Structure 1
Amino acid sequence: MSIKVCNIRLDKEHLQPDQNSMNAFLDSVNVKLTSSNFVTTGTTDYWSVLIFYESKKETQTPIIENQLTGVEKELYEVLKTWRNNKATELNLKHFMISHNSELMNIAIKKPKTISALKKIKGFGEVKTAKFGQEILSVLNS
């Protein structure tokens, strides 16, 4: 996730260009969170807007099961079996271990290392620390 600060100056000369610039930026990203404050310096009044965002190219389009190749489907089924067994062992709901979409991404990308696994959406530090080695073992078996 990235951060950008936009200032919208309120004088007639800058208001519309600043708004146009901010709107163009907002159209080019996926906004996650915003925060704004009114700022007055005695000479200039403006809105300062903090935008937390992800670029559109960073987001992943959802994968559906029928998009998987034969080998990927087989690997996905093996990963689902592992996940279901792990959920039963830990007395958790299956989605608490991993969502189907995450397992499909693993089946497609076939990560070889923990750092490669962390690049898959849904696998941050915590989930990778808990289940990363087991997932890599499943992939390597």
Structure 2
Amino acid sequence: MKIQLFKVRIDDEFCKKDQEAVNRFFGRVEVLRMEQQFLAEDRCWSVLLVYEPGQQADKSTEIETETVDSLSESEQDVYEALRTWRNEKARELQVPPYYIANNKELMRIVKAQINVPDELLEIKGFGLKKVEAYGEEIVALLDSVATP
């Protein structure tokens, strides 16, 4: 077990780059625990990850190797709607977007075709706390995208 500390600066010029670095890291290791704290003086989030090196999450699933480009047009629409919702929710809660759901988790949601909040418990990265916090909104969004 190892730890990695990231600093995610909230200034527009750095935020996206810092978030992408964290997302890339998520893709290379099995994250066991994440803790974050906003450092007002530095205008950034400090993100501590506890992880197992060299183990990619969900090795048995092909979703990990898929990219947005490999999604069908309708799946891409759902994925983009989820990303938009996640980013807006993150701004509202003043947390980094990956705190709500990282891109791989969003991809898993698209592929799993979730119908009820409890089905989110089958998505790696979604525990009871996330499902209780965001499940109803995610399912409502999925319903609205599926039936415009």
Q: Is the 8 A contact 2:64 2:104 kept in 1?
A: no
Q: Alpha-carbon deviations, 1:24-48, whole Å to 9, x = none?
A: xxxxxxxxxxxxxxxxxxxxxxxxx
Determine the C-alpha separation between the residues in 1 that align with 2:126 and 2:84: 18
Determine the C-alpha separation between the residues in 2 that align with 1:59 and 1:108: 10
Alignment partner of 1:80 is 2:83 = yes
Alignment partner of 1:130 is 2:140 = no
SS in 2 for 1:121: coil
**Residue of 119, 124, 132 corresponding to 1:121:** 124
Residues 87 and 67 of structure 1: is their aligned pair in 2 closer, same or farther, counting only changes over 3 Å? Answer: same
Residues 130 and 58 of structure 1: is their aligned pair in 2 closer, same or farther, counting only changes over 3 Å? Answer: same
Task: Kindly state the Cα deviation for residue 121 of structure 1 after the two structures are TM-superposed.
Answer: 1.2
Which consecutive residues of structure 2, in runs of 5 or more, have no partner in the other structure?
Answer: 1-56
Alignment partner of 1:68 is 2:87 = no
Q: Is the 8 A contact 2:90 2:97 kept in 1?
A: yes
What is the letter of the counterpart of residue 85 of structure 1? E
Alignment partner of 1:107 is 2:103 = no
Q: Is the 8 A contact 1:102 1:121 kept in 2?
A: yes
Of 118-127 and 73-82, more deviation after overlay is shown by 118-127
Task: Kindly state the Cα deviation for residue 64 of structure 1 after the two structures are TM-superposed.
Answer: 1.7
Determine the C-alpha separation between the residues in 1 that align with 2:87 and 2:59: 33
- CA-based RMSD of the aligned residues comes to 2.2
Q: Is the 8 A contact 1:117 1:132 kept in 2?
A: yes
Determine the C-alpha separation between the residues in 2 that align with 1:87 and 1:71: 24
Counting aligned pairs with the same residue, the percent is 36
Alignment partner of 1:140 is 2:143 = yes
Determine the C-alpha separation between the residues in 1 that align with 2:58 and 2:72: 28
Which consecutive residues of structure 1, in runs of 5 or more, have no partner in the other structure?
Answer: 1-53
Q: Is the 8 A contact 1:76 1:104 kept in 2?
A: yes
Count of paired positions: 88
Kindly name which structure, 1 or 2, has the bigger radius of gyration based on alpha carbons: 1
**Residue of 94, 97, 100 corresponding to 1:97:** 100
TM-score (ref. length: structure 2): 0.53
